[in-house]
Amino acid sequence: MTASRLYDPTGEKYGIPTYPWRMAPEEYATRRQLRTRGLRPGGQDVAARVLWHSRRYWRKGKSPIRVAYLYRIDLAKTVRPMTPAKWAALAKANTARQICPECRTDAGYRIPVSLGMCVSCADAPQLAAS
């Protein structure tokens, strides 16, 4: 698909206004862009979308067309502030991610999901074999 085939500002072809990469109007923003401005969608529906080609997905046999949904900035609401209870829950969750499930000690860092345990426990079988 060429960029001109991805351009549908009225939404006649795709049912929703669609723009190629970097061609969306300034009044739209993605969730991440809203967040950097201290905003959130606030319950509004998706207003438009951006479509682009991805070479990475083309090689993996998936659809090469990627999508990013856009929201209207003028309808966005401010981000709700963190309450003391939310801060406490976040601290508790982060602390739990530092406890090794194997040796039950505080690793002092977030346990890598790829290992599932602290580095000392993951390396123990290799050290014992040598």
Take residue 70 and report the two structure tokens written for it.
């856009």
pLDDT tens per residue across span 19-52: 998 899 999 999 999 999 999 999 999 999 999 8
Average pLDDT over residues 70-82: 96
CB 50 within 8 A of CB 20: yes
Q: pTM, whole model, 2 decimals?
A: 0.68
* pLDDT classification of 60: cutoffs 50, 70, 90: low
* pLDDT classification of 12: cutoffs 50, 70, 90: confident
Average pLDDT over residues 4-16: 83
CA-to-CA separations, 85 to 82, 89, 92, in angstroms, rounded = 8, 6, 11
CA atoms within 13 A on the CB side of 82: 8
Nearest to 102 by CA among 123, 71, 76, 73: 123
How far the first Cα of the chain sits from its last, in Å, is 55
Q: Helices (DSSP H) in 1-130: which residue ranges?
A: 31-36, 55-59, 84-96, 119-129
